[in-house]
Structure 1
Amino acid sequence: MFRFITTRPFWVNLLVAIAIISACFALFFMSLASITKHDDIKKVPDVVGKSTAEAVQILESQGLKVSLQDSVYIDSIPKSSVLKESPDADALVKEGRTIFLTVNRAQAPTISMPDLRGFSITSAQLLLQNLGLKLEGTKYINDVAKNAVKQQLVNNAEIQPGTPIPVGTSVLLVLGNGAGNETMEVPDIVGMTLAEARDYLQTFNISIGTITANPDVTNQDEGFIFKQDPPRNNGFQKNRMKPGQAINVWLSAQDANAPKPENNDANPGENGPGV
């Protein structure tokens, strides 16, 4: 069977073997580009911001595969739009490469409404933001807890904690204005320094309002209050006010209620001996 090999000289067989091996290597390398598609390079199209359907159509038309890797929800971006692609746009890839897309969800996820009652407006706003909810606005009611959340409303209706709501929902917060329904007699702060009056009024949850100082006042905290509005008395009746309200004051460098020094410079002829 192999007589034709054994009957030929060795160098002939060697040349034939080298020729066969060279032909096999040449055929292999010629087909390598076709097998690996090395020469078929594609530039990844930019599909960020496009709808999912449009992005898939564009990528598949370029001979690329598509996989929806992840989805998030951002209410300020159109639903079902592409947020990110990997590899990035303009990257060079081979035909048939899979492009992974992150898309914006078509429907907002739901969360449980938190209980914001008793929170300060600052803390409540921060929690809403962290949960993906929006602050629609605020309104005030009479309550001694100033700027504390008293009610939480969605679509002008009170919403209970734990109620499922979509992310992005707007919440209206009802806050206390610092003024309760109970009233009290207006404190008398005339004759006090401004610093003393502030400390005294804090015990009643009352603040200092507008401050009008005379030109001789160099330090308001040390200035003396000679007038207040509202005054303590209104004729024979004492005025009343609510906690959380303010008293306007007028300041002077001198205490108007301080006793005046006696005049010792009497006329010589009044009490002295006659001439």
Structure 2
Amino acid sequence: MLKSLFNWKVLLNLVVAIGVFVGLVWLTFRWLEYHTNHGQEIPVPNIVNKSVQEAIKILDDSGLEYEVDSFNYDPKYRPFQVLQVYPVPGSRVKDGRAIQLRVNPRTWAKVEVPDVINKYSGLAFQRLEQVGLKVGDTIFEPSIQKDAVIRILYKGNEVKPKTKLARFSIVDVVIGSGPMRNISIPNVVGLTVKEARLVIAKSMFEVGLVEHEDGSKDESDIIYYQDPAAGDVRDQGMQIDLWASKKTPAELSAKIEQLNSIYRMKVDTGLPPVRYQEVPAHQEPDYNAPPPPPAPRKDDPKQMTQPLKSDVSKATTAKPTASVAENNKPKTTTSNTGGSSGNNPTASKTVVATQKPTEKPKAKKVVVE
């Protein structure tokens, strides 16, 4: 068996196989070298801080491809200025290699305007700042929607929601300041329904019921009646009802009279005006009058035995009468005529004029139950 391995024919086949293998490997590497331009490298030019137009021209002249990517906008650099290059400048790459360029955009990235119409102004400002928009002027305009956003303006022009604006753009917000009062009603009789809508909207009112005589909804019908009447004053946002027909107002005089009897009620001004007198809700107390005496309590014995005012006054008035009567009593007189008392026993008697004094009235006890 060993002899057969060392046979010259076997050895020849082995050498041929090895030669074929080496040749294939050599041809493969040669093909790869030719296809990939092995050994032919190009240095990456320094194009940082150049404009993107200049950078593209330099890369085209060097035989290099390029890919442009927008960086976040930085106001410190010029628009379309190359900020970064990959691979870095000075690196050696093969011909046809794509170089990535990071370029400063012309302005900030665009954002959508949020839908904040008819929303509360505080919430609207917060939403605008969240998306990256800045609020400039705040304009107040008469509207029935007080403190609500009516419009958003950008450079004086109205912008609709979802409109794209550059980030950090300044927008003006129009906010309702409340309805206007006592606005004169415009006269739309004789106008078409379409024209009446424009006049009413311009006068800051709203169109209410529109009744067509023939039941159609033709905007070219002529207005022959309106309520409220022209010249009346109403607040902003009030509705104006309209009656329209293809006929002229002169042909509808009977219908107009019927509507007047319903919507134009006459007020009788011949009656005297009603006068109202205001009554004070609280009457001020009179501090000059003496306070009333306190009512006696049932459980107080002193109050029960105290005489009334009338009895006390009677008792006090009876005292001076009694004293006067005592002063008017006749005094006892004794007459001595020369010691002859014994001879005139009658004369010697004391003559006393007796007079009953006025009795003092007794105080009555009054028991208050």
Pair member with larger Rg: 2
**TM-score bin (small chain):** 0.3 to 0.5
Structure with the bigger RCO (C-alpha within 8 Å, sep 6+) is 1
- Greater strand proportion: 1
TM-score, normalisation: structure 2: 0.31
